[in-house]
């Protein structure tokens, strides 16, 4: 017996190729795509504008893989929701909904876990299990979108900043962004998508040539090579100034301003002299600095700077005409930082398993 093909996550052209092999007319692909992506249907029998025979053929040869919610947490202010979503093979990832003044933003994961090893991030604590497919990344967005539709709302922006290094899963992530842009899917402008990377230089250069002008966000987190290497092992492969040069090339080729994320960690990279080094680094760039007070991860032992220290750091940048914002804290009461909820659930599962065997 042949294995059924997962049709979810395919472009119309791919759907047409697959269904025509079983005798279905190619024009059905457009109808199927709209059922999958616009109407969130997960049962071929619900595709009512297809004939009964066509639906039977689809049921016989294809399957629709989406997600199930394993755990959900809501912030006290109701603005942030975090979901641990499980795929058909049992692995789970985190997805976060942030209700902003400018609309609803969903933060998606691109890998199960992460291999980058950044010391301030919980996503790396259990390593990386596998890449997600374009369809699995899209399923996260559509899960949140379906919930929002109950409130007569929808997803306005997507940030690819969840677990994993997006550019280490390059092809699937690019296909995901292209699929979101398609009229039969979310019809989302590329300008409403932000991709965050720890700095894979060849992939940044490749992304600049794709013709998809998404906003690039560089995980900088340090004003010099020494500190960045301590915080981010990837800096030993692609040093700070190589990453900055690639970001410059991206800005020049796409005309899009690059955002530099800077996690502020007490007594590590938050002092006045660090701010002044960052100013030197940022001068003359089409860029914005986003300061992010660290979300404490117990296993890492890293502390958040005082409010006064955060304000001092910001003020040094503002006085020297550097575009800077301080990320508004959302969801700190529900472990909204990357990997925290998944790590909590995995740890609890391991503890339960140990107890069951004792």
pLDDT of residue 59: 97
If 0-12 CB within 10 Å is exposed, 13-18 middle and 19+ buried, where does residue 255 land? exposed
Q: In this structure, are residues 289 and 223 in contact, taking their beta carbons and an 8 Å threshold?
A: no
DSSP 97-161: EEEETTEEEEE--SEEE-SS--TT-GGGTT-EEEEPPHHHHHHHHHHHHHHHHTTT--EEEEEE-
- Measured CA to CA, the distance from residue 220 to residue 118 in angstroms comes to 11
What average pLDDT score do residues 1-5 get?
Answer: 79
| pLDDT, average across residues 249-260 | 95
* pLDDT band (50, 70, 90) for residue 298: low
Cα-Cα-Cα-Cα torsion 134, 140, 145, 150, nearest 10 degrees, comes to 150
Q: Which residues are catalytic?
A: 94, 338
The fraction of the chain above a pLDDT of 90, given in percent, is 81
Q: What's the pLDDT band for 349 if we cut at 50, 70, 90?
A: very low
pLDDT at 131: 96
Query: What is the model's pLDDT at position 126?
Result: 75
pLDDT at 333: 54
Q: What is the mean pLDDT of residues 253-280?
A: 96
The phi and psi torsions of 59 (rounded to 5 degrees) equal -60, -35
Work out the number of other CB atoms within 10 angstroms of the CB of residue 222: 24
pLDDT at 102 over 90: no
**Who wins on pLDDT, 205 or 113?**
205
C-alpha to C-alpha distances, 186 to 27, 202, 249, 286, 316, nearest whole angstrom: 20, 29, 29, 29, 41
Please answer whether residues 119 and 339 qualify as being in contact, where contact means their C-beta atoms are separated by less than 8 angstroms.
no
Asked if 123 and 164 touch (Cβ cutoff 8 Å), the reply is yes
Residue pair 53/35 in contact by the 8 Å Cβ criterion? no
Q: Domain 68-349 adopts which CATH fold?
A: TIM Barrel (3.20.20)
Residue ranges of the domains in the chain?
A: 5-63, 68-349
123 pLDDT band (50/70/90 cuts)? confident
- Look at 341 and 193; give whichever has higher pLDDT: 193
Confidence of residue 330 (pLDDT cuts 50, 70, 90): low
Q: For residues 55-65, give the mean pLDDT.
A: 97
Residues 156-182: pLDDT tens digits? 999 999 999 999 999 999 999 999 999
Mean pLDDT of 84-109: 95
Name the DSSP class of 81: E
Pick one of 3.50.50.60, 2.60.120.260, 1.10.150.20, 1.10.150.530 as the CATH number of 5-63.
1.10.150.530
Q: Please report the beta strands in the chain, taking only residues with DSSP state E, as ranges in sequence order.
A: 5-6, 62-63, 68-74, 80-86, 92-100, 103-107, 111-113, 128-131, 155-160, 193-197, 215-219, 258-264, 287-293, 324-326
The mean pLDDT value for 84-106 works out to 94
* Average pLDDT over the chain, rounded to an integer: 90
pTM of the model: 0.90
Q: What is the mean pLDDT of residues 311-334?
A: 84
Pairing of strands 103-107, 92-100: antiparallel
Give the other-Cβ count within 10 Å of 72's Cβ. 13
335 Ramachandran zone, left/alpha/beta (phi>0; psi -120 to 50): left
Out of 53-57, 227-231, 324-328, pick the least confident.
324-328
* Cα distances (Å, whole numbers) of residue 121 to 96, 135, 189, 294, 308: 16, 25, 29, 9, 24
Return the pLDDT at 356.
43
| Cα 179 to Cα 181: distance, rounded to the nearest angstrom | 5
Kindly report, residue by residue over 337-347, the tens digit of the pLDDT.
454 554 454 44
Q: Please determine, for residue 243, whether its predicted confidence score (pLDDT) is greater than 70.
A: yes
Strands 92-100 and 5-6: unpaired
Asked if pLDDT for residue 210 goes beyond 70, the answer is: yes
Which phi and psi (to 5°) does residue 208 adopt?
A: -65, -20
Burial class (CB in 10 A: 0-12, 13-18, 19+), 148: middle
What is the number of other CB atoms lying within 10 angstroms of the CB of residue 284?
Answer: 6
């Amino acid at each position: 017996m042949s294995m059924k093909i997962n049709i979810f996550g395919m472009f119309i052209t791919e759907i047409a190729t697959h269904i025509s092999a079983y005798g279905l007319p190619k024009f059905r692909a457009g109808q199927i795509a709209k059922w999958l992506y616009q109407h969130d249907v997960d049962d071929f029998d619900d595709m009512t504008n297809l004939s009964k025979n066509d639906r039977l053929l689809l049921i016989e040869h294809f399957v629709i893989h989406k997600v199930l919610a394993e755990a959900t947490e809501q912030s006290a202010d109701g603005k942030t929701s975090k979901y641990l979503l499980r795929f058909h093979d049992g692995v789970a990832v985190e997805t976060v909904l942030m209700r902003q003044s400018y609309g609803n933003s969903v933060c998606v994961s691109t890998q199960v876990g992460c291999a980058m090893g950044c010391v301030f991030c919980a996503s790396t604590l259990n390593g990386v299990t596998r890449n997600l497919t374009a369809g699995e990344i899209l399923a996260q967005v559509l899960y949140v979108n379906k919930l929002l539709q109950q409130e007569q709302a929808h997803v306005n922006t997507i940030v690819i900043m969840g677990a994993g290094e997006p550019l280490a899963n390059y092809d699937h992530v690019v296909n995901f962004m292209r699929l979101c842009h398609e009229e039969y899917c979310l019809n989302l402008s590329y300008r409403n998508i932000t991709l965050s990377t720890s700095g894979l230089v060849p992939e940044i250069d490749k992304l600049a040539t794709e013709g998809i002008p998404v906003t690039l966000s560089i995980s900088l987190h340090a004003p010099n090579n020494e500190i960045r290497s301590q915080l981010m092992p990837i800096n030993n492969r692609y040093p700070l100034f190589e990453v900055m040069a690639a970001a410059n090339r991206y800005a020049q080729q796409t005309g899009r301003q690059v955002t530099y994320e800077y996690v502020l960690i007490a007594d590590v990279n938050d002092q006045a002299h660090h701010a002044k080094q960052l100013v030197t680094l940022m001068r003359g760039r089409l860029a914005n600095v986003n300061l992010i007070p660290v979300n404490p991860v117990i296993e890492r032992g890293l502390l958040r700077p005082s409010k006064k220290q955060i304000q001092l750091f910001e003020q040094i940048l503002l006085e020297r005409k550097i575009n800077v914002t301080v990320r508004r804290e959302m969801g700190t009461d529900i472990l909204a930082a990357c990997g925290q909820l998944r790590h909590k659930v995995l740890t609890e599962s391991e503890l339960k398993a140990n107890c069951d065997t004792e």
